[in-house]
Amino acid sequence: VQLQASGGGLVQPGGSLRLSCAASGSILSINVMGWYRQAPGKQRELVASIRTTDSTNYPDSVKGRFTISRDNAKNTVYLQMNSLKPEDTAIYYCTMDILGATQDLFTKYWGQGTLVTVSS
């Protein structure tokens, strides 16, 4: 199983970006999907998560600006980021709790990270 993230880049303050992350491999089921970020010198933090029920969770720092969604048919999770601020600059990582074809338990997988830079 592999996760491939894309969509990062340079954007001006107030701008928008959409991140995508697709899982590939022998997958039976995907439970929680999410996005984390890590800024230089800071700990990795949760940005958004979404369950199979489409229930979502956001920290106050991004609530109202970021929207997470999922396409179960494509094993893909998205993060729409609006009204971006310089403090949103970080490497963004996708995660998925996946039950693989050869596994008995769900395992958390991580994408390779995509850099988001918010600067004028």
What pLDDT is recorded for position 28? 94
Confidence of residue 109 (pLDDT cuts 50, 70, 90): very high
Residue 103 pLDDT more than 90? no
What pLDDT is recorded for position 10? 97
pLDDT tens by residue, 31-71: 999 999 999 999 999 999 999 999 999 999 999 999 999 99
- As a whole number of angstroms, the distance between CA 61 and CA 84 comes to 11
What pLDDT is recorded for position 44? 96
Within 8 A by CB and 6+ apart from 7, the residues are 17, 18, 19, 20, 114
Q: Dihedrals φ, ψ of 106, to 5°? A: -70, 140
Of 15, 119, 18, 120, nearest in space to 68 by CA? 18
- Length of the chain as a residue count: 120
